[in-house]
Structure 1
Amino acid sequence: MATRSAMVQTIALALSLGQGHAAHAANPPEPASHVAAQCDDWRAYRLFIERDVSGDGRVIDASTPAQQTTTEGQAYAMFFALVANDRATFDRLLGWTRANLASNRLDATAVALPAWLWGRRPDGSWGVLDPNSAADADLWLAYDLIEAGRLWREPEYRQLGEALAQRIASEEITDLPGLGTMLLPGPHGFVKDGVTRVNPSYMPLPVLRRLAHAAPKGPWNTLANNSLTLIKATAPQGFAPDWAAWQQGRFGVDPQKGDTGSYDAIRVYLWAGLTASGDPLAKPWLAALGGMRARVDSTGFPPEKVATATGTAGGEGPLSYWGALAPYFSALGDKRNASLARLHLSVLDGDAPDKQPLYYDRVLGLFGTGFIDGRFHFDVDGRLVPNWRPACG
């Protein structure tokens, strides 16, 4: 295996030539039986649907022993289907989610927060592994449905999305003494002995803005403001942590996960990069996260893990990190590092068939490349602005 310095030199040379790619290996899951054909060939999306989504609409993380499915994966995939104008896949994903994660209670008149984790149980059977919901996935599901209703002119999607948003507001929003509105990671298990655990990566600004536009009396704009307070308080060196905690009137280090910033936190940079530049929180959010850009400038790669209190870093982040950071670099006007990210992400187009990206590599890579390639962006109200091309007739 090449040394890290040799890899950096190779990538630098490839950048100068305008070619090259990096990859991570994975075992592909069962293939999907249907992929919508489009005249606009978003190859990375098609490969994701073929290799990571089952024919009945289940996103599979094949790297896990349980071959697990999460509401996060379902929600992300529905977003990409919307970006791709692939309604058939969107409906398959929604149908599987409704039947298997929400006990068929996912319509405008009967909405249940879906279980976040499904897969193979220790006894070999298949089903829900944890009935708790995941608030970030719930937010994305509500967003996907509201935007699908608008873009595809289907009121039932919008009505379901709005009903789900109301359920999130009633079950996954709390009031922190001395601060106010904050998102719980899920309804159960995150408040104990005066400590409230929170996840900074669970609150994408565009999603919160869209929910605020759809439900002006809801908590969403206040939550957006408080999420920036969270980032500023927990990123003293410009690096976001995976988890944090509110206790005694302030944000501090999470008692279970410590101050590590890694696979959860990388999405904080992604959401900052995806936020419309006209959003009043866009610039301060990016400014609070300057440590990551400085580190990549100095080393040529993002660190896998960072001690956010000191900025001490270790390891090399995988492909998913480059996917998350591509919009972040773009928003900062950092063309060199944005190009470096795109170089790494070229593997998503299937140029190295023997080196297949993992689930997380693919989904964060699709966010990153979809954005920097101009397939979608968000306006200041959080509306999705897709660059749809006509479907093949």
Structure 2
Amino acid sequence: MEHASHGPDPVRRHALRALLAAAGAGALPARLRAAIPAPAPACPGPWREWQAFVARHVEQDGRVVDFANPDLRSTSESQSYGLFFALVDNDQLLFERILAWTRRHLSGGRADLNLPAWLWGRAGDGSWRVLDPNTAADGELWIAYALLEAGRLWNRPGFTAAGRQVLALMRKAEVVDLPGFGTMLLPGNRGFAHGDSWTLNPCYLPLFAFRRFALADPKGPWAKLAERSVALLRQAAPNGFAPDWIRWNGRAFVTDPDKGPMGSYDAIRTYLWAGITHPADPLRKPLLEALSGPLRMLRAQGAFAEKVDVRNGVGIGTPPPGFAAALLPYLAAHGQGTLVRAQATLVPASGAAADSLPYYDRCLVLFGKGWVDRRYRIAADGRLQPAWSTPCSAKR
């Protein structure tokens, strides 16, 4: 594949760089220095972390398995993440296998009519089946996102149509208007509305996904959800730490009485999603400002915590390696290169430590380290930019 050339040709670029090296940057006129383009970032090589994940967690039929529980479960989340990572890795065959399993087992073979059940695995009687038919908006959201972007990047209109269908089902089952607050996405279609209050999950609300959905479904609620998702975090995280769960009582966000005030294994993704949001998104700055807690904690203590009481910002416990990986884009977004490097040392790259990581930590590594390694970016309008869709693709 050839790419249009802009600016000096390669021979001239080489000569200019040699001249700059010989003379020193300050010895050349500004016009000449401006003609020397910055070196492009290195294209990533084979994605070893993803290859290890597939070998451990993805079965031949496309089921993505979380071995941490006795039921050897698969979830709409695990399937959705598998779709996204397969797309980032440009693996259409694996994408199709994961999608087929999801449709057959979680949507009852009718993905056009049914949102996926969130939990499938081995029941107490030894049978393999749906264990909880309730839905989970985060899994559906990532399935819709992966389908829309697979349709666009691979020129597969059927995937695009399927992504829009998932959005239509979500609109009908899970998008509500909260009195006194506005448009919001419930975590699932049952169990989160309590008459005069509603339980919500901030990590189910990635800003960039709503930007992408607004392109695909401009008459839908997605642009409003983008704005409301940031408004939620600005109100629900007064100390800069996202809660795992929060409740809206019609007047304010309060601690959910069933879930408690902690931010931990769910909330860590809130910082991750904020970090990979494009700098040109006008809501990124207020989003990062609302989530200032981890940065303050790392500056003050040099370490993050496994659990944080969001009411006072007090943390306890040593977090798993996946937390460090999830914080990499967040810290990069804050311009904290030293902290990025420090957290990166906590993420095992290979060997027994990397091999022993459980499903969830591996997912956080794939998202966080994958972004740092430039395997993908998210555009300001929410579109995915995998490395293979850039000039890096010409070098493969």
Same fold (TM over 0.5): yes
Q: What is the deviation of 1:130? A: 0.5
SS in 2 for 1:313: strand
Cα separation, partners in 2 of 1:196 and 1:354, compared to 1, 3 Å: closer
CA distance in 2, matches of 1:299, 1:353: 25
CA distance in 1, matches of 2:141, 2:354: 35
Please show how residues 251-290 of structure 1 align to structure 2 within 5 Å. 251-290=253-292
**Contact in 1 for aligned 2:178/2:250 (Cα 8 Å):** no
**Aligned residues: CA RMSD:** 1.6
Match of 1:170 in 2: 172
CA distance in 2, matches of 1:202, 1:391: 35
Q: Structure 2-normalised TM-score?
A: 0.86
Counterpart code for 1:263: Y
CA distance in 2, matches of 1:338, 1:57: 34
Structure 1: gaps (5+ residues): 1-38
Matched length = 350
CA distance in 1, matches of 2:350, 2:120: 28
**Contact in 2 for aligned 1:47/1:350 (Cα 8 Å):** no
Higher relative contact order (CA 8 A, sep 6+): 1
Do structure 1's residue 69 and structure 2's residue 74 form an aligned pair? yes
CA distance in 2, matches of 1:147, 1:352: 34
Please identify runs of 4+ aligned residues in structure 1 that moved more than 3 A: 389-393
CA distance in 2, matches of 1:392, 1:329: 30
Q: 2:95 aligns with which of 82, 90, 114?
A: 90
Match of 1:45 in 2: 50
Q: What is the deviation of 1:178? A: 1.4
SS in 1 for 2:247: strand
Q: What is the deviation of 1:354? A: 7.8
CA distance in 1, matches of 2:395, 2:100: 24
Counterpart code for 2:245: W
Please show how residues 239-318 of structure 1 align to structure 2 within 5 Å. 239-318=241-320
Identity of aligned residues (%): 47
SS in 2 for 1:385: strand
Deviations 1:98-149 (A, max 9, x none): 111011112xxx3310000011111111111100110011011001000000
**Structure with the greater alpha carbon radius of gyration:** 2
Structure 2: gaps (5+ residues): 1-43
Counterpart code for 2:232: L
Match of 1:180 in 2: 182
**Contact in 2 for aligned 1:174/1:184 (Cα 8 Å):** yes
CA distance in 1, matches of 2:350, 2:284: 33
Q: What is the deviation of 1:180? A: 1.2
Counterpart code for 1:162: R
Q: What is the deviation of 1:234? A: 1.3
**Contact in 2 for aligned 1:40/1:391 (Cα 8 Å):** no
Match of 2:7 in 1: none
Q: 1:122 aligns with which of 121, 124, 137?
A: 124
SS in 2 for 1:111: coil
Q: 1:133 aligns with which of 129, 132, 135?
A: 135
Q: 2:342 aligns with which of 327, 340, 343?
A: 340
Cα separation, partners in 2 of 1:98 and 1:391, compared to 1, 3 Å: farther
**Contact in 2 for aligned 1:40/1:390 (Cα 8 Å):** no
Deviations 1:55-107 (A, max 9, x none): 1111111111111111111101110110000111111100110111011112x
**Contact in 2 for aligned 1:233/1:252 (Cα 8 Å):** no
Match of 1:325 in 2: 327
CA distance in 2, matches of 1:198, 1:88: 35
**Contact in 2 for aligned 1:270/1:325 (Cα 8 Å):** yes
Do structure 1's residue 366 and structure 2's residue 359 form an aligned pair? no
